[in-house]
Amino acid sequence: MLKTSSFKKEVTKQNFRSVGWIGIVYLAGLLFALPLKLMMEVSSDRPLGEYFYQRGLFQVNFEIQQLLMIVLPVLLAVFLFRYLHMKESSDFIHSLPLKRKELSHINIWNGLVILVSPILITTLIIAII
């Protein structure tokens, strides 16, 4: 029996076009908060061992990380589900041959990808450093 895929390429492309900038801002903020600070610490004259054992990575530029962790996921959710609050967008989106549940799942998965990929990229860069 042939099943249709729940991955809708056009909806995903539209989501990344409209809210992809949030992922880019998140990546830039994380790169500014963590690897840049760690590279500055490496180039300083203080011994590194006691710095890293006394403080974890969540303590490095904690205010910036906290702001990014709270504000950007909320912004992403608002922009991903903005079509629910605008009459014209809502009419268009719900006229597509998709069930509402399926559309919601696509938006949630796209949001997860947009939020997790900057974290993975930052983790990879920190591991290289």
> Could you report the per-residue pLDDT of 27-74, keeping only the tens digit for each?
999 888 888 877 777 777 766 555 555 566 666 777 888 888 899 999
| Residue 5: pLDDT band with limits 50, 70, 90 | low
| Residue 124: pLDDT band with limits 50, 70, 90 | very high
Give pTM, 2 decimals: 0.78
Q: Which residue has the tokens 């990229």?
A: 121
Q: Which residue has the tokens 């989106």?
A: 93
More confident residue, 116 or 92: 116
Using DSSP's 3-state secondary structure scheme, residue 76 falls into: helix
DSSP character at residue 83: G
At CA 20, angle to CA 4 and CA 12, rounded to 5? 10
Q: Which residue has the tokens 């490095």?
A: 60
**92-110: average pLDDT:** 84
**pLDDT more than 90, % of the chain:** 27
